[in-house]
Structure 1
Amino acid sequence: MILRSLVVLLVCLNLGVGLWWSLRRDPAPPPPPAVEAGTGSLVLLGEAEAPPAPDDAEVGAVPVPVADAPVCLSLGPFATPADLRAAMNAMTPHVGRIQFREVPATELRGYRVYLPAAGSREAALATARQLAARGVRDYYVVTAGAQENTVSLGLFRDLGNAEKRRDELMAQGFQAVLEPRTEDAAQWWIDLAAERGFDWRALLPGRTELEERPVDCT
Structure 2
Amino acid sequence: MSNIGFYVWSQKLSAPQNKSFTATDPGIIKLKLLSELPKAPIRTLEPAPKNTAATTVNQICYSAGPFDSEASILATEELITPLVLKTSVRKLTTTQEAGYWVYLPAMPTRAEALAKGRELAAAKVKDYYVVTAGNHENTVSLGLYREQYNADNRITELTRKGFAVQKEVRIEQWPEFWLDYSITDEQLGALPELATDTISSNEVSCQNS
TM-score (norm 1): 0.50
Q: RCO greater where, 1 or 2, for CA within 8 Å and sep 6 or more?
A: 2
Partner-residue secondary structure (3-state), 1:143: coil
Deviation for aligned residue 1:216:
0.9
Find the partner of 2:134 among 145, 161, 186.
145
Deviation for aligned residue 1:203:
0.9
Cα 1:205/1:189, change in 2 over 3 Å: closer
Cα 1:124/1:112, change in 2 over 3 Å: farther
Q: Is the 8 A contact 1:74 1:191 kept in 2?
A: yes
Find the partner of 1:167 among 152, 155, 160.
152
Q: Is the 8 A contact 1:110 1:155 kept in 2?
A: no
Cα 1:109/1:91, change in 2 over 3 Å: farther
**How many pairs does the alignment contain?**
147
Q: Which residue of 1 aligns with 2:103?
A: 115
Work out whether 1:78 is the aligned partner of 2:63.
no
Q: Is the 8 A contact 1:169 1:175 kept in 2?
A: no
RMSD: 3.8
Partner-residue secondary structure (3-state), 1:203: coil
Q: Is the 8 A contact 2:194 2:201 kept in 1?
A: no
Deviation string 1:100-128 (CA, Å, 9 cap, x unpaired) is: 24x36357695452315234235534543
Q: Is the 8 A contact 1:74 1:215 kept in 2?
A: no
Unaligned ranges ≥5, structure 2: 1-52
Written as runs of structure 1 = structure 2, the 5 A alignment for 1:1-218 is 68-89=57-78, 91-101=80-90, 103=91, 105=93, 110-111=98-99, 113-121=101-109, 122-155=111-144, 159-160=146-147, 163=148, 165-172=150-157, 173=159, 174-182=164-172, 185-195=174-184, 203-210=193-200, 212=202, 214-218=205-209
TM-score (norm 2): 0.52
% identical aligned pairs: 29
Q: Runs of 4+ in structure 1 displaced over 6 angstroms? A: none
Separation in structure 1 between the aligned mates of residue 206 and residue 112 of structure 2, nearest angstrom: 55
Task: Decide which structure has the larger Cα Rg and report it.
Answer: 2
